[in-house]
Structure 1
């Protein structure tokens, strides 16, 4: 039972340096960046071995269970981390939900249905394009096309 106090692999373990005021990811969830935000947040809490608190696989133990208090403590930490990682207007809408997995589901239901904020392969590649070279090629093509149309109109 005391394993959760010393074993970092235990999902109930909280390191002494953990703080409920920490912002785990930026930018904050603003309603338009859900997919990127959710991925970053999941990565952050997976590194802390707390994913079970948002995926619903670690349910709240009964009050007489010795793990009830550690579950409540970790769930509250998760709630705080979520609240500190989203914009204030969204925080107000989830403030009174007491279960981290229910908050996670609420946010997913509300914000995951929009246009994905995941970059397309094209937009990911755009930053690799040499824009000055494209300009020069375009200019040469325009000049070539102008010469071709002049020769077609006025003869050789």
Structure 2
């Protein structure tokens, strides 16, 4: 007989081609791009980040092609992967910029906030900040 407090749910297996799969060797502090974003040259930094996120099958977290699942089994895994993407983006930003967007709940919200502040089409907003 198994005691209720010792029950361990079966582990969920996720195929490595699934966007919510996290490779065991990846970690939040991993530096993914050599372009450190300090508020200038947004286009170059953005392109480098998009290449890396695409190569790691995580582009869906910022371009709205991968949404949060509505079933609980994958919710925790999705949140963990989203947090990893947020962490990796934050690690490429200057401290002032990362501090100002640290509390974004999803990678998509964080990405949109960066775009609205520093995107090429909003150059005037950059100088206001």
TM-score, normalised with respect to structure 1: 0.67
Structure 1 gaps of 5+ residues are: 116-156
| CA RMSD after TM alignment | 1.7
**Cross-structure match for 2:42:** 34
**CA–CA separation in structure 2 for the residues paired with 1:84 and 1:49:** 18
Pairwise mapping of residues 4-153 of structure 1 onto structure 2 (< 5 A)? 4=14, 7-62=15-70, 64-112=71-119, 113-114=122-123
TM-score, normalised with respect to structure 2: 0.80
1:80 Cα offset (Å): 0.3
Q: What is the aligned length?
A: 112
Rg comparison, structure with higher value:
1
Structure 2 gaps of 5+ residues are: 1-10, 125-129
Given that 2:35 and 2:48 are in contact with CA atoms closer than 8 Å, whether structure 1 keeps it comes out as no
**CA–CA separation in structure 2 for the residues paired with 1:98 and 1:36:** 25
1:3 Cα offset (Å): 4.5
Given that 1:3 and 1:10 are in contact with CA atoms closer than 8 Å, whether structure 2 keeps it comes out as no
**CA–CA separation in structure 2 for the residues paired with 1:42 and 1:2:** 28
